[in-house]
Chains A and B, each alone.
Chain A
Amino acid sequence: MTETLIQVDNLKKYFPITGGILQRVVGNVKAVDGVSFHINKGESFGLVGESGCGKSTIGRTLLRLNDKTEGKVLFKGEDIHSYSKEKLRSMRPKMQIVFQDPYSSLNPRIKVGEAIGEALLDHGLVSPRDVKQRVLETMRICGLADYQYDRYPHEFSGGQRQRIGIARALIMNPEFIVADEPVSALDVSIQAQIINLLSDLQREKNLTYLFISHDLSVVEHLCNRVGVMYLGSMVELADTEELFSHPLHPYTKALMSAIPIPDPTLKRERIILKGDIPSPANPPSGCKFHTRCPIAADICKQANPEYREVRKGHFVACHFA
Chain B
Amino acid sequence: MVSNEPIVVYENFSYSYPTTPNALVDINLEIHRGEIFGVIGPNGAGKSTFCKSLNGLVPHFYGGTMKGRVLVDGMDTFEHTTAELSTKVGLVFQEPETQLSGLALTVEDEVGFGLSMLGFPAKLIRQRAREALEKVGLKGFERRSPFELSGGEQQRLAIATVLAMKPEIMVLDEPVALLDPIGKYEVLSVIKEIAAEGSTIVIAEHEIEELAYFADRILVLNEGRMVSLDNAKMVLSEVEKLKKIGVDPPSVTELAYLLEHDLGIKLEYPITLPEALKIFGELMEGR
On whether the two chains bind one another, the answer is no
Residues of B within 8 A of A (CB): none
